[in-house]
Structure 1
Amino acid sequence: MTEAVASRAATAVAMLGERGETLAAAESLTGGLVAAELTAAAGASRAFVGSVTAYATRLKRDLLGVDGELLDRRGAVDPEVACAMAAGVRVALDADWGVATTGVAGPEPQDGQPVGTVYVAVAGPCGEPVAERLFLGDGDARDERDERGGSAARRDRIRAESVQGVLRLLYKELQRECRGKDREQTGGNGCLQP
């Protein structure tokens, strides 16, 4: 990962440690990369409790408590699913904060979503979880093909940018003050909005 990602992870870990708060991660397309960045930061053991790599859709339902009807109706690549994953890992691992990644790294579309569609989410101690869509697209697929003609480099880029995206969202949410207001009612980008 880049120096910026490592710095963002270290900053989040430090902020959580100073507050005496904890963090858990639920990862799909990133397959443990978020956890790896967080545990690489000094002091991670004070703040990071662990992660669930729920790559299979049934694990999102069975381990993280994502509603099965939601998964059937919308698929795993969805902002509400990302929010449910973040909230679910927070509960499952008894953490103050939860983060989640879900999306399509390729090589093929999934659940009707094109390659590069990614949702990241954060669930904190107050308010509704919040999700963001990352527009990672296909990039220049010609430049990202390996010598076998595959798309490993493109997948790596999408996954790395997903880690950056979820850590950026976490940092933003850590900076907010808890106001006890529902983001849906206050016009925020909470997950209850359509």
Structure 2
Amino acid sequence: MKMLINHGFTPIIHGSVARGDVAENSDVDVVILDVVPSYKVEIALENSGFKIFDKIMVQASPRHTVKAHIYLDELTTITFPLVKLTKIEREFYRFGGELDVEGLENNVRVVGVDKRLMLIEPTLKGHVESSILGREVEVASRLGVSVDIVNERIRVLMRRDDVGRTGVFLKVRLGENDVFEDVLRKIVSKNPAIRRMMIQRGLL
């Protein structure tokens, strides 16, 4: 994260690392919340000695923001939006728990909700887990987010439990020399659903 800061970015760490409920196979999700030129992120990584393992463009559904994922290994990902996040998309990261580099260096842990819909509350000796179901308003207040994002995550994650992992609307693996923005422009020209999202966001 410091490497990204040194190159002018403002990253956060999201998920279990921020909450402190880390397992051996936990993902390390570093997120840049602003729209930034992808080539600058790649240059920052390469200049800092990191080798890019994979590059994938993802859109969860036709109404969601398209995101870039740069994998440094199978568990470590740098994520950033290719289209500005909506308010509820921004709240997604607070919902799951987010931490800046200062908090990370000071061993701070934050409250957040995991994929089991369990509220993870750090304690001096570990953490306490409790279900968020039936406590949507309380949990939203505790996390500083809207009830809308709490209800959305409950709906999405409970549906996944019922029908299994449903995948995403768009998932494109990029070649080593492909540029995220160029690939997105080509997709927008051919995909009416993504073009509609861009128009609704005032980008076309």
Structure ID, larger Rg: 2
The TM-score, its normalising length taken from structure 1, stands at: 0.30
**Structure number having the greater strand percentage:** 2
**Structure number having the greater helix percentage:** 1
